[in-house]
Amino acid sequence: MPSETPSGKNPSGKNPSGTFAIGGDLTVHRLGFGAMRITGPGIWGDPASREAAKATLARVPQLGIDLIDTADSYGPFVSEDLIREVLHPYSGLVIATKGGLTRHGPDIWRPVGNPDYLRQCVLMSLRRLGLERIDLWQLHRIGPDCPREMQFEAIARMREEGLIRHVGLSEVSIDDIEAARPFFPVATVQNQYNLVDRTSEAVLDHCTAQGIGFIPWAPLARGALAREGSVLPEIAGRHGVGDGAVALAWLLKRSPVMLPIPGTGDPGHLADNMAGAALTLTDAEFEALDGQGRAAWQAGGAS
């Protein structure tokens, strides 16, 4: 079970976000790092500054972050290649990656679930990352080109072969999670979720009840809550942190299975995000943020 998140400022080299055991046996700190933004515009090609991207990656373990989430489609391949270049052999780090999307240009993502393609995704990620087994491999999307059961069966075979330790799913429903369970234990679910996007609220509650790690993508989206006069800047000012740190603290308090992975290509921004790991919101602050965020979502304010 996750440990409680202590309060106070974040000390250098510490990650006070508490821990969670992915799949029951892979313990990580709850605040991780998303490696999508160490690529070019549209998540396509090399980053504007390779040196800044590499410096950001080098800072990750220094801040006590031990969960890095990436995907073969980020770049494509750029993110995985940079992770290996900077961090291999990954002492104390869990590198989670994803497969199942094809790339045809900036901001173009097309899912393919063909079992042969999924196997290629896993094998090539192993090669790029320099691993013999991927600790957490996630199906980036359930492909529309074949039945989901066929995709789950292919993933189960790769898990049985020892290519994958734990399996996660991304952008799925409760029905999808339950349909996958006869094939493998679902260790994590990665759906979009943040203060102003509650579309996956029921999925999060299901994961909480089942002890499934929930990885919210776009965790820093704040929409209308970032505007002057909303409760978010007020709470941030009270604690002497940025709005993003408060948004992360809210996520960490929302559920003990929550594993936020804010992404950035800037080492300074990475350090700023860590303030969210050390911040414990009061129940009143949490409820105020929850209410305003839910209202913004219902009004179509997600961004």
Q: Catalytic site residues? A: 74
Bridge partner residues of 136 (DSSP): 96, 166
Cα separation, 261 vs 35, whole angstroms: 8
Residue 268: other Cβ atoms inside 10 A: 12
Buried b (16+ CB within 10 A) or exposed e, 20-47: bebbeebebbbbbbbbbbbbeeebbeeb
The token duo for 97 is 């990656």
Q: Which one-letter amino acid corresponds to residue 260?
A: P
Residue 140: other Cβ atoms inside 10 A: 25
Cα separation, 224 vs 156, whole angstroms: 42
Of 190, 91, 89, 74, nearest to 137 (Cα)?
190
Cα separation, 151 vs 155, whole angstroms: 6
Cα separation, 239 vs 113, whole angstroms: 46
Count of H-run helices and E-run strands, the chain: 11, 11
Helix axes 115-129, 78-87, angle to 10 degrees: 30
Contacts of 180 (CB under 8 A, 6+ apart): 148, 152, 167, 169, 186
Cα separation, 284 vs 263, whole angstroms: 28
